[in-house]
Copies of this chain bind each other. A is one copy, B any other.
Amino acid sequence: MNKGRDTKEMILEIGLEMASRLGLEAVSIGELAKAAKMSKSGLFAHFQSKENLQIAILKFAGDRFAQEVVIPALKVEAGIARIQALVDNWIGWTAQLSGGCIFVQAGNDFKDRPGKVRDFLLQQQEAWIDSLRRIARSAIGAGHFRPEIDCDQFAFELYSLLLGFHLYYKLLHNEDIRERQQASLVALIRRYQ
């Protein structure tokens, strides 16, 4: 890695953390320059616009999400164990960022802010929901889920459960939520078996 790439990674790291806490819309070139203790013109040279910076943060987060959440789950045997791994990885990802999952945060920020950032975010959301759908399909393949189940319905229900966990954990700081979420996951999986 060269120095320019190292600097860019460091900036994106700080931007990701900031977006997780305060929202992606709060991350401007000026604010991020302050947080990274760099000049505004230095940051501008890397990203050219706030929109490009926001998309770069989403891409950076997306790569890390793939590495930490999706890819390790795909290494676990298909079926219930893989679903459990995906959920555990997602919770690890959410716990590690001080404001929680950047995609949950950015989804709220950008639902009514049309443009390139929103378009990119929607692609990422579709890819994520597709991962959930495929993980249900592979559980059918493994003989754990009934063949006639609706994989889109499973994806929606699993995603809903993660969103509930996110709110109880990151907003309400509810201490029992890890256990509650696990109890709900077990009940959810049982309905599809």
Given A153-B183, A153-B184, A156-B177, CB of A22 within 8 Å of CB of B164: no
Copy number in this complex? 2
Is A45 interfacial (CB 8 A cutoff)?
A: no
Binds B, one of A8-16, A51-59, A99-107: A99-107
- Let me know if A156 and B184 touch, CB within 8 A: yes
The reply to whether the CB of A113 lies closer than 8 angstroms to some CB of chain B is yes
Structural contact, A112 and B180, CB atoms closer than 8 A: no
| Contacting pair A112 B22 (CB below 8 A) | yes
A116 within 8 A of B: no
Are A171 and B109 neighbours in the complex by a CB distance under 8 Å?
A: no
A113-139 near B? 1/0 per residue, CB < 8 Å: 100000000100110010000000000
Interface of A toward B, CB cutoff 8 Å: 21-23, 25-26, 98-100, 104-105, 107-113, 122, 125-126, 129, 152-153, 156-157, 159-161, 163-165, 167-168, 170-172, 176-177, 180-181, 183-184, 187, 191
